[in-house]
Structure 1
Amino acid sequence: MDPRIRKHAEIIANHSVNLQEGDNVVVDAHPVAEDLVVALHEVIGEIGANPFTTSQRTGARQRRAYLRAGDDEYETPAHELALIEETDVYIAIRASDNVTQTSDVDPETSAAHQQAHQPILEERLSTRWCLTQFPAPANAQLAEMSTEGYEEFVWDAVNKDWDEQRDHQANMVELMDPADEIRIRSGDTTDVTMSIDGNPTRNDYGEHNLPGGEVFTAPVPDSVEGEVLFDMPLYHQGREITDVYLEFEGGEVVSHSAAKNEELLTEVLNTDDGARRLGELGIGMNRDIDQFTYNMLFDEKMGDTVHMAIGRAYDDTVSEDNEQNDSAVHVDMIVDMSEDSLIEIDGEVVQRDGTFVFEDGFEQ
């Protein structure tokens, strides 16, 4: 086995989820990620935990068959919920043999299915959980890379010194954590402000997401004002959405458009009331992720980017005194901040054209 796969498994177990003897572990993975699943089982066995493997979350082919055959009426599956309720550690491994497998599933059907699974999502988020990526050929193809090149890209981003990355990102946490207002500007198309007053800023250094490489928090839901053009595309439900434009008033999306698959964006925004508000603001800081790959797990961590997510806010980014935005969706979208862009915190510029105030090359 490639030693990088074994190292990947060890980082998941020992760093991301702090696996302990006796833990009940669910490994949710596509069959093409079998090598990483095998390596994980080896590590799990050495630690003395109890593994169970499923492809429920990432098995797009069977999910497509089920959703296309259904009637858009879904209930929360009690047996799946019961499994997660007995789970201590949940490890999801992204990999695919066809990244557009669900592209012909009706968006309304996907939204209804997602809503029915909301209690399962909430239960998973209460475990020690990790989402990671195995470098499958289909994902390499989507990234327009060779399989070997994509493997190097993934493992360079994953198998790194996470203590060093944590310390680098702590500089941004120190700036954001006590802040009241953040303003994001990019070119003539993005100028948005939001309050983060009282909400904690989190340092993601490879725990829940592997790779990590961002600092993030939740905006106060009704504080978001302005407009954003997300100039980097995203894949959602097997389809590409490009040039997403959102206009916010009083925290809600009041106008939206997209150059491609706008109807899918509309369905996402119509999922529930919370889908029209922001649940996350994240600042990408992983310099080892140096190219766009159509994979949000990596793309949102790129240096020189900011991402915002419509929908659910994570529990640990909202203070007891602030409202938490709730939704069945959490959809991240990215703004390129490498040129003609800045981030202001309480009126002070802390990043200009992708360079932070605490990095060499920052210009006042």
Structure 2
Amino acid sequence: MDERVSRHAEVLVEHCTGVERGDEVLIRAPSVAEDLVVALYERVGERGANATTWLRSPRAGRARARAMDADDFSTSEHRLAAMEATDVVILVQGARNRAAQCDVDPAKGSPASRARQPVLEARLDTRWVITQHPTAADAQAAERSTEAWRDTVYDAVDRDWAALRERQQRIADRLDATDEVRVSADGVDLTLDVSGMDAADDHATHNLPGGEVFTVPRLDGVDGEATFDVPVRRHGREVRNARLVFEDGRVVAHDAETGRAVLDELLATDEGASRVGELGFGTNRGITEATGRTLFDEKMGDTVHVALGDALPECVPEGVDTNESAVHVDLITDVGSGEVRFDGEVVQAGGAWWFEREA
């Protein structure tokens, strides 16, 4: 086994989730990630914890979704009960075929998302993390050789997270004290009201790799428009150059160069799917090119992402109304040639944060 797989598991168990003796650990992974699952079981065993695996099979999901009537999707009480009894969740991404579900009727995506929502909410009450196992299919999507993709993944997950946390905290502290964010770049002109919201520093606690600072806008606090030039995939379908127009926090017009139907289906999921549940700034300069994996692409330095759908609860103070939805989908744009302002003051320009320009 590649020694880097063992190191990957070590970071997940020790740094990301802090597995303890007696914990119930749930690992959701595709079969192609068996090496990482084995390494995780070893690390979990060293901690005296219990481990269970849920196999993620896009082929099986496709077969069920194609056979199922849209009205028949419902929450799995078995999965919900299992999640409610879980302390730690490790979600592993990795594909054999990135397009395995591309021929499922997009109209079934919304009811499927709504059915999963209670399980998702229960997972958010655990110590959870999402990560990536390198596969040949993902290498192909990233237009890299399999070996180069492995290097990309392992270089991104095995970093000095303490140092990155310190750097990101400077941005988070300033964002925390900000009422209005303005993002301006080619194809982007967004104003977001973040008054009273908390800012968070992701140094590989919920995402591995980490590398972002994020917050949540007010429910009606997003205006302007943006073209998201980093492609994203949903249910095996690509969305490229999605353009969204916001008024009073809601998407009032949308289009896409490719994947318009996917965007239509996403926005139709529920009332909250057309509002923003997250504003994030990518800070991981170790990720320099889009890979086709949102987990990596949203962390790229000089990018901004907004997520349509459910708001991140860690950023919302008690008693503040915020967005609720069965989806949370990040859309990403490169703003390296533009600028970001916090309460009218330029904090990022030409790809550099204020403290980097001052150094």
TM-score (norm 2): 0.98
Where 1:145 maps in the other structure, the secondary structure is coil
Match of 1:325 among 323, 334, 337: 323
Aligned residues: 358
**Corresponding residue number in structure 2 for 1:193:** 191
Which residues of 2 match residues 306-321 of structure 1 at below 5 A? Answer: 306-321=304-319
Cα distance per residue 1:155-186 (max 9 Å; x no partner): 10001110011011111112100110000111
Within 5 Å, which residues of 2 pair with 1:172-183? 172-183=171-182
Match of 1:132 in 2: 131
Please give the alpha-carbon distance, in whole angstroms, between the structure 1 residues aligned to 2:223 and 2:91.
35
Deviation of residue 106 (structure 1)?
1.0
In 1, Cα distance between the equivalents of 2:126 and 2:322? 19
Equivalent residue, structure 1, for 2:169: 170
Aligned to 2:97: 98
Equivalents in 2 of 1:297, 1:68: separation in Å?
27
Corresponding residue for 1:153? 152
What is the CA–CA distance in structure 2 between the aligned matches of 1:157 and 1:68, rounded to whole Å? 36
Question: Displacement, 1:317?
Answer: 1.0
SS for the counterpart of 1:222 is coil
Deviation at 1:321, TM superposition (A): 3.9
2:347 maps to what in 1? 350
> What does 1:267-346 align with in structure 2 at a 5 Å threshold?
267-339=265-337, 341-346=338-343
Pairwise CA RMSD: 1.0
SS at match of 1:253: strand
Q: Does residue 73 of structure 2 align to residue 53 of structure 1? A: no
1:194-225 Cα offsets, whole Å, 9 max, x none, are: 11111110000001100000000100010111
Tell me if the contact between 2:109 and 2:265 (Cα under 8 Å) persists in the aligned partners: no
Q: Following TM superposition, by how much is the alpha carbon of 1:320 offset from its aligned partner in structure 2, in angstroms?
A: 1.8
Q: CA deviation at 1:264?
A: 1.2
- Please name the residue that 1:244 is paired with: 242
Which deviations, in whole Å up to 9, do the C-alpha atoms of 1:279-307 show, x marking residues without a partner?
Answer: 00000000111111000000000001000
Secondary structure of 2:80 counterpart: helix
Superposed counterparts of 1:221-236, under 5 Å: 221-236=219-234
Measured in 2, the distance between the counterparts of 1:246 and 1:70 equals 31
Other-structure match for 1:115: 114
Q: CA deviation at 1:361?
A: 7.2
Structure 1 residue 360, shift from structure 2 partner:
3.8
Range with bigger deviation, 247-256 or 313-322: 313-322
Deviation at 1:108, TM superposition (A): 1.4
Tell whether the 8 Å contact from 1:304 to 1:354 is kept in structure 2 after alignment.
yes
SS at match of 2:195: coil
Q: Distance in 2 between matches of 1:54 and 1:277?
A: 31
Shift of 1:233: 1.0
Distance 2:57 2:166 in 1: 36
Specify the SS of the correspondent of 1:257: strand
Instruction: Name the CA distance, whole Å, in 1 between partners of 2:279 and 2:323.
Output: 13
Distance 1:18 1:92 in 2: 15
> Matches of 1:105 and 1:69 in 2, distance apart?
10
Matched residue SS, 1:157: helix
1:355/1:361 contact within 8 Å kept? no
In the alignment, the residues of structure 2 paired with residue 190 and residue 160 of structure 1 have an alpha-carbon distance, to the nearest angstrom, of 31
1:308-356 deviation per Cα after TM superposition (whole angstroms, max 9, x unaligned): 10000111111124212000011101111122x1100000000012111
1:84 equivalent to 2:83? Answer yes
Distance across 2 between alignment mates of 1:181 and 1:134: 37
Counterpart CA distance in 2 for 1:168 and 1:175 is 12
Corresponding residue SS for 1:99:
coil
Structure 2: 5+ residue stretches without partners: none
